[in-house]
Amino acid sequence: MNNTLNEKIGMNNDFTEDEKAGIYKAIFSRRDVRSHFTTKPIDEKVLTRILNAAHHAPSVGFSQPWNFILIKEQETKKKIKESFESERIDSSKLLEGTKKSKYLSFKLEGILESPINICITYDPSKFGPFVIGRNSVPETGVYSVCCAVQNLWLAARSEGVGVGWVSILSNKILKQVLNLPEHVVPVAYLTLGYVTEFAKKPDLESAGWLPRLDLKDVVYYERWNQKENRGWITINELIKTNLDYA
Amino acid sequence: MNNTLNEKIGMNNDFTEDEKAGIYKAIFSRRDVRSHFTTKPIDEKVLTRILNAAHHAPSVGFSQPWNFILIKEQETKKKIKESFESERIDSSKLLEGTKKSKYLSFKLEGILESPINICITYDPSKFGPFVIGRNSVPETGVYSVCCAVQNLWLAARSEGVGVGWVSILSNKILKQVLNLPEHVVPVAYLTLGYVTEFAKKPDLESAGWLPRLDLKDVVYYERWNQKENRGWITINELIKTNLDYA
């Protein structure tokens, strides 16, 4: 991060229009990248910034329960790729006909092509056993790690670095290969690299696998399944109509 | 979002320095807000933008398994607050002495003071039962919802809206109060509102409860617990030294 950028990161409450645009641009143009990786190594300063962004995620009781394992050894990547292949075939057995062949035709990971893989883990023992706010819902620990993943993803997007989350993997094998202690959970296995392009839409949307839901279909008022409410008339209209920036 | 902002959100790969600064500024200055809420209602366009940002999170197999329940009815908030109080007391029983009194002195939620509460839920049945990438690690479904939470949080920060994640709650009571179906999981209960300030540091850090870890303490190379590796010398140095922008 250069000095100009440094100076801009103040704690003042107001964001300029350009800074605000940066947030929304990253959010709307972020992609789960499985192809288009280039072999160009990721600049070390860029990687440091991205990791630091992840480390500044919210965490339950400020427990910061994440670790980032940076991977570029081919041997490790190959073992992970083997696990992907095996899980992919297993999953395909749940499908039939054109759904199955379509699924098998998708490019679903870039483990070997991307210059860097990162495994982000959850360590429940960090600062434990008592962590503020984790007692009623223990899952909030792993939720914190997911927030770190999303920080990393958005920072990477702004740096022109593509990120793919490979979830077709055996966590058992991942733990063996990366030598994780029994109590540590591998949460995300990510592939990172500069890309030749960021797709205009998510791959599975372009392929016609699933449609993007409308915002109005995921918002309820006051309780589950309530699609209209007299206390929320304006927002209800806005959500239906004002989506040209989506 | 006004037109100027609209035009800026293109799909071109490069971010301007200002746009990039916006991402890092939001990430580093985002806070888990429990106090300083004002009663000023959240602008409906701002709320729509924030929700749309959340809806554009990554999701396993493009399943978009989230719903957003917007809450402002006092009666609902009061029931949630009661659950918080009860869980807070229960948790305090795990502590003793000064730790206990310190814990009980913390302000840990702004349920009633914030103008809007949002419950973000996970519906595993959406587009299911087969969701691409969710077979090997079913938890990736709920992980997607956490990414939506973080998108919402960052977008809100850039709009000057404070967000607090209340995790000291009974999910059982939350499900009853919000009328959630049995299979739906409440993932996050958030309180939103404009704030008089965003704190310079996380509250629990300022209070001396826990320290911020150094980045170097959460990064490993190639496998668990490996703090040095000849393939990662430059990044290892950068991570240790170049953190003036943190």
pLDDT of residue A241: 78
Per residue in A141-193, pLDDT (tens digit) is 999 999 999 999 999 999 999 999 999 999 999 999 999 999 999 999 999 99
| Chain A residues with beta carbon closer than 8 angstroms to that of B19 | 18-19, 21-22, 25-26, 158
pLDDT at A243: 57
Percent share of chain A, pLDDT over 70: 93
Q: Are A70 and B26 an interchain contact pair (Cβ–Cβ within 8 Å)?
A: no
Q: Helix axis angle, A44-55 relative to B17-29, nearest 10°? A: 30
Instruction: For residue A17, give the H/E element and its range.
Output: helix A17-29
Q: Using 50, 70 and 90 to split pLDDT, how confident is the model at B243? A: low
Chain A contacts of B47, Cβ < 8 Å? 235
Q: What is the pLDDT of residue B11?
A: 47
pLDDT value at B92 more than 80: yes
- From chain B, pick out residues whose CB is under 8 angstroms from the CB of A47: 235
| Side chain identity, residue A15 | F
Closest chain B residue to the Cα of A220, Cα to Cα? B69
Determine, for residues B61 and A155 on separate chains, whether the beta-carbon distance falls below 8 Å.
no
Residue B241 confidence (pLDDT): 77
Q: Are A60 and B40 in contact (CB under 8 A)?
A: no
Q: From chain B, pick out residues whose CB is under 8 angstroms from the CB of A48.
A: 215, 235, 238-239, 242
pLDDT, tens digit, 9 for 90 and up, residues B39-87: 999 999 999 999 999 999 999 999 999 999 999 999 999 999 999 999 9
What sign results for the dihedral spanned by CA atoms B84, B90, B92, B94?
A: negative
pLDDT category of residue A2 using cuts at 50, 70 and 90: very low
Answer whether residue B100 shows pLDDT above 80: yes
CB contact under 8 A, A45 and B21: no
CB contact under 8 Å between B69 and A132, yes or no, is: no
- Give the gap in angstroms from C-alpha B74 to the nearest C-alpha of chain A: 10
Rounded Cα distance, A122 and B146, in Å? 14
Q: Which of B70, B153, B236, B244 to mutate to test the interface with A (most CBs of A within 10 A)?
A: B70
User: Does pLDDT of B122 surpass 50?
Assistant: yes
The yes-or-no verdict on residue A10 having pLDDT over 70 is no
The interaxial angle of helices A140-158 and B140-158, nearest 10 deg, is 60
End-to-end CA distance of chain B: 29
Asked if B29 and A9 come within 8 Å (Cβ–Cβ), the reply is: yes
Q: Which of B15, B30, B32, B167 to mutate to test the interface with A (most CBs of A within 10 A)?
A: B167
What is the tens place of the pLDDT at every residue in A26-79? 999 999 999 999 999 999 999 999 999 999 999 999 999 999 999 999 999 999
pLDDT tens track for B140-195: 999 999 999 999 999 999 999 999 999 999 999 999 999 999 999 999 999 999 99
- What mean pLDDT is predicted for residues A126-133? 96
Residue B242 scores a pLDDT above 80:
no
Average pLDDT over residues A104-132: 97
